[in-house]
């Protein structure tokens, strides 16, 4: 489980809050497994704004602890990338099997692969919505209230 700290910037009516995270070290909040592989642009001064479920009842200005389950990014990548690739390859294989003896076999295979790819995109979108619905960032607890944060010298929450 990934844990992060941030400040609540605003509250929404749907039980969510917008939280500002200023990472203590360079990287991608919510995706530590990709930090070394992808991003070299997130620096100590970068700011990330995310929406989180406000289960702790935090108010604007509160310093909060956020959590997100591990592996969320990989599940989403499989749903959004894997399904279209599998669909396109399946369509290409189906075209090769069913349209082998036709004079327009290349065109039929391209159409078959395109249909498979589109079905893969649609199925990947449905899977993504179902898988990611319960994988939201959650405010676990309030570290310091807004009045305590206001009295910390130089804005250092620790």
Q: What is the pTM of this model?
A: 0.51
Query: For 94-126, what is each residue's pLDDT tens digit?
Result: 887 877 766 667 788 888 889 999 999 998 888
What pLDDT, on the 0 to 100 scale, is given for residue 118? Answer: 92
Which of these CATH numbers, 2.40.50, 3.90.320, 1.20.1740, 3.30.450, describes 2-69+135-155?
Answer: 2.40.50
Percentage of the chain lying above the pLDDT 70 cut: 72
In terms of C-beta density within 10 A (0-12 exposed, 13-18 middle, 19 or more buried), how is residue 156 classed? Answer: exposed
- Strand-pairing partners, residue 8, are 19
DSSP code per residue over 11-33: E-TTSEEEEEE--SSSS-TT-GG
pLDDT digits (tens, 9 = 90+) for 125-139: 888 888 776 677 888
Task: Specify the pLDDT at position 144.
Answer: 83
In order, the DSSP letters of 72-92 are: HHHHHHIIIIIHHHHHHHHHH
What is the pLDDT at residue 49? 84
* 149 neighbors 62 (Cβ within 8 angstroms): yes
**b/e per residue, 71-95, with b = 16+ CB within 10 A?**
ebbeebeebbeebbebbbebbbebb
Give the domain ranges of the chain: 2-69+135-155, 73-132
User: Is the model's pLDDT at 19 over the cut of 70?
Assistant: yes
CB within 8 Å of 40: residues ≥ 6 apart: 26
pLDDT value at 57 more than 70: yes
User: What pLDDT, on a 0 to 100 scale, did the predictor assign at position 110?
Assistant: 84
DSSP state of 46: -
Task: Determine the average pLDDT of the residues in 20-32.
Answer: 62
Q: With residue 112 as reference, give the H or E element that holds it.
A: helix 105-132
């Amino acid at each position: 489980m990934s844990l992060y700290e941030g400040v609540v910037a605003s509250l929404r009516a749907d039980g969510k809050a917008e939280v500002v995270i200023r990472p203590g070290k360079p990287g991608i909040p919510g995706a530590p497994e990709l930090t070394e592989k992808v991003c070299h642009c997130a620096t100590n001064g970068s700011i990330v704004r995310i929406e989180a479920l406000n289960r702790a009842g935090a108010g604007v200005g509160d310093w909060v602890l956020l959590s997100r389950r591990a592996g969320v990014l990989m599940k989403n990548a499989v749903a959004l990338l894997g399904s279209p690739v599998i669909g396109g390859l399946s369509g290409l294989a189906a075209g090769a099997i069913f349209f082998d003896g036709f004079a327009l076999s290349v065109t039929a295979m391209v159409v078959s692969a395109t249909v498979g790819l589109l079905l893969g995109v649609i199925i990947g979108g449905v899977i993504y919505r179902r898988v990611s619905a319960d994988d939201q960032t959650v405010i676990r607890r309030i570290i310091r209230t807004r009045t305590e944060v206001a009295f910390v010298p130089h804005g250092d929450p620790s």
